[in-house]
Structures are given as C-alpha cells and as structure tokens.
Amino acid sequence: MSKFIAKPAFSLAGNLQIPGDKSISHRAIMLGALADGITKISGFLQGEDVLSTLKAFAAMGVKIEQNADKVTIYGVGIFGLKRPEKPIDLGNSGTSVRLISGILVAQDFDSELIGDASLSKRPMGRVIEPLSKMGALISSSNGKLPLKITGGQALNAIDYQLPVASAQVKSCILLAGLYARGRTCITEPAPTRDHTERMLRGFGQQVNSSGNSICLTGKAKLTPTQIQVPADISSAAFFMVAASIAKTADITLPAVNINPTRTGIIEILQLMGAKISLTNQAEIGGELIADIRICNSKLKGINIPEALVPLAIDEFPAIFIAAACATGETILTGAKELRVKESDRIQAMADGLEILGIKNSVLADGIKITGGELQKPSAIIQSHADHRICMAFAVASARCQHPIEIADVDNVKTSFPNFVELANAAGMVIEG
C-alpha cells in the first residue's frame, strides 16, 4: 500500500504555484460541454477527480482535447450529449456524481453512475430527493451508488429549501433547472461556494442571487467562453497551516482564488493568530484572486464560529493540525457534514491526532482539540484513502520532532497531484 513518510522540517520558504481549483475545473468541463461551441480552459487541475468528469463527458460524445493544464471543449449544446456505452465511473469524486446527475436526469437516454468504495458509501439521497421532485426518475438502493437514471422525463422547476448547506446539491439542482420548465429557486441554510452561479453567468445564463436564494429560468442556451482557473484555496490551505506551525516560515502562494464563499480557512487561521496577508487582489473570469503570504506564528485555540463552517468545509483536516499546534483548546461544532466526506473526517482526524499524542474529544457534529506537542507516533496514521487526511498529517511534520508515517496516500492525486513536489520545494521532507 502507498504511504508517505513525512520527516521533521522546521524552516519553510518559497513562492509556490498551487494547481487549479478543483470545483471550478469540474464546472468548466460541464458547462463547456453543454455550451454551443468551443470553450478554452487554462489552469485546469490535472487531478483524478476532474479527469473523471472530463472522461464522463468524453464518454457522452463530447470532443475534449487536453494538453497539461490547457483544455479545449467542443461543446454540443444542452441537448447534444450521447448515451454512454457503459456505466459512468466517477472514481472518488462526489462533485462529479452530484453535479452530473442533475444533467443526466434531463437527457433522453438512460444512464448509470458508479464510483469507488468511498464514493459508494456517500449519501446521494440529498440529490435524488430534489431531482425526483422535479420529475426525474432515479433508482438506487439506500440512496447510495449506483444511481440508475431513466431518461426521457420532462423536468419541472422547483422552489427548494436545501436541508444541508451543500454547494454540490445546489449546483445539481441549478444544472437540472437549465432543462426544467419554469423558474427554479433554491434557498440555502447558509452560503456555500457559488462557482456554479458565477460560471453560469460567464456562459451567458441569467442567475439571480438574493440573500440565500438563487433562481434561474430553464430552457437555457449556454454561450461558450474562455476560462482561466485560479489556484485552489483548498490545496493552498495545507501550506497556510504548514507555514503557520513551522518554526520559521515565509511562504507566498500566488494568484489563489479568494472567492468569499471559500475564505473560511483564512478567517479561522487569522482568528487563531496566524500571520496571513493578501496582496495583488484582482478578478479573473468572475472569480477573485490574490497572492497569499503566510509567516510562522504562535497560534491560539479558538471556538470556531459556525457561520464559517460551510466556507471552510474542505479545510478542517488542515485546521485540526493547526489546532493541535495551538495553545489551548479549539472547539468545532456545527460540522456534521465532515462525517460524510471522502472519509468520516472527524473520526479519521481524531484517531490520527490521538496517535500523535494530541488530546481530543469527538462530538457528534465536531471536535474539541487541546493543543500540545506532536509526539513520535506509536502507530501508522490511517488516511482511510482520503486525500485531505493524508496531506493534513503530512504537513504536521512542520512541527513534529519525529517522522510521521501515513498509509494509503494514492488519492492525493485526486486533488493535488504535485503535493509532495511542492511541499519538498518549500522545505518539507516527504517521501512517498
């Protein structure tokens, strides 16, 4: 089984180009495929999750050329997809399944979505329920993969109150709404990442956002465009934490996406006392970017404001490492969504922190972590094949006196294929 051995590293420096944003890369492929004509993408993330999305549309007859981070999509229009010859395998990617299901329910062909062992355990009822309300026909056992979709259904718009703060569910309904008769409106319990709304506007689709409600009118036509994908703040987060906990550090991460629905990591680390500054703010293709500079700091434990949870939902494994290196207690509540990510991230992190000698207590919807010294591990840390658990424990080596061994790290390729290379360029010593 693959593993990382992350050796102690105390001094980090450099200017690190973080790869493209995963959420934006997925959406660029999807909307590009549904547009009428050619869309060109640069800065595309070459991670397995987005490659699953790319292959799914290629399997539905969309010509897509990829050359490293440059992608050209020959869009077929919203009704131009072809029946795939076999079930579409979306690997480890929850975003692919949830968003693509919103498109497939409106096609005139049948389809089936499958995934790997982790994805097959994740809840899909959250998309089946609203899509069925719109008139979709989906069968699954227990709300899990495989999803069998019967095509040829006419969709009606809905007015839907999201029960969970989920950008994936919101985006799924918005995509189905493109095909529906009437005006689809979604109200979120709290703001979540709004890349779908922004990008739909970039493709010429009117999307109205007001307070926590988002509406669009169906029977759409998307106009192709050019998309420059900014660096992914969720990948940048590992270096923000590494630099914050290291003995000495001065790291700059250029042109990172700072969409306000994604910047919870910056706010949480700043509340903990991190030294983070943003310069060169600009806008590219409807998304905000900035250079982020992080220096070493003395972190203190905090009560993480619940309003920040959806805005940092993927960053908690890294934030828990920051909490482990902070003075005092950090308390997270209102985050039970973490239990249904690529792994149960509350339990997986709690177990790993325990191995490193960090006291913590698991709550139904969060965790309490008491900062301390990271000790020599008495056992190997189990990542549960979750990319973000692997990278979180790898950057803990910026504070640990002993090597940290992490098992089952292959899935780091799903979101951050050159993580080890960049980490080592910054001064970390990660073998694997």
Q: In what order do the strands lie in the sheet with 208-210?
A: 159-161, 183-187, 213-217, 208-210
Q: Is 168 in the site for ligand S3P (CB under 6 A)?
A: yes
Give yes or no for a contact between 96 and 53, defined as CB atoms under 8 angstroms apart.
yes
Considering beta carbons, is residue 338 or 369 the nearer one to ligand S3P? Answer: 338
- Tell me how far, at minimum, the Cβ of 237 lies from ligand S3P, in Å: 12
Radius of gyration over every alpha carbon of the chain, rounded to an integer in angstroms: 21
Contacts of ligand S3P in 228-287 (CB under 6 A): none
Task: Single out the residue of 168, 172, 100 nearest to residue 133, CA to CA.
Answer: 172
Go through the chain and tell me how many residues it has: 432
Considering beta carbons, is residue 192 or 360 the nearer one to ligand S3P? Answer: 192
Active-site residue, from 232, 314, 344, 408:
314
Among 36, 112, 129, 337, binds ligand S3P (CB under 6 A): 337
In the residue annotation, 314 being an active-site residue is answered as: yes
Considering beta carbons, is residue 59 or 174 the nearer one to ligand S3P? Answer: 174
Q: Beta strand pairing status for 88-89 and 111-114?
A: parallel
Q: Is 118 in the site for ligand S3P (CB under 6 A)?
A: no
Q: Is 96 in the site for ligand S3P (CB under 6 A)?
A: no
Q: Beta strand pairing status for 38-42 and 226-228?
A: parallel
Considering beta carbons, is residue 153 or 168 the nearer one to ligand S3P? Answer: 168
Which two three-digit tokens encode residue 224? 């192709």
- Tell me how far, at minimum, the Cβ of 88 lies from ligand S3P, in Å: 18
Q: Which residue is nearest to ligand S3P (CB)?
A: 23
Among 6, 106, 158, 167, binds ligand S3P (CB under 6 A): 167
Q: Max CA-CA distance within the chain?
A: 61
Give yes or no for a contact between 26 and 414, defined as CB atoms under 8 angstroms apart.
no
Q: Is 171 in the site for ligand S3P (CB under 6 A)?
A: yes
Contacts of ligand S3P in 28-67 (CB under 6 A): none
Considering beta carbons, is residue 166 or 252 the nearer one to ligand S3P? Answer: 166
Q: Beta strand pairing status for 70-74 and 88-89?
A: unpaired
d(CA 178, CA 216): 7
Which two three-digit tokens encode residue 81? 């997809």
Among 52, 192, 225, 235, binds ligand S3P (CB under 6 A): 192
Q: Is 313 in the site for ligand S3P (CB under 6 A)?
A: yes
Alpha helices in 18-166 (DSSP H): 22-34, 48-59, 94-104, 125-133
Among 53, 96, 166, 343, binds ligand S3P (CB under 6 A): 166
Q: Which stretch binds ligand S3P (CB under 6 A): 77-85, 166-174, 181-189, 241-249?
A: 166-174
Helix (H) or strand (E) holding 184: strand 183-187
Among 18, 23, 147, 385, binds ligand S3P (CB under 6 A): 23
- Tell me how far, at minimum, the Cβ of 314 lies from ligand S3P, in Å: 5
d(CA 318, CA 237): 7
Q: What is the 3-state secondary structure (H, E, C) of 48-77?
A: HHHHHHHHHHHHCCCEEEEECCEEEEECCC
One-letter amino acid at 233 equals: I
Q: Which stretch binds ligand S3P (CB under 6 A): 60-68, 160-168, 238-246, 364-372?
A: 160-168
Q: Which stretch binds ligand S3P (CB under 6 A): 56-64, 163-171, 293-301, 421-429?
A: 163-171
Residue ranges that bind ligand S3P, judged by CB under 6 A: 23, 95, 166-168, 171, 192-193, 313-314, 337
Return the active site residues: 314
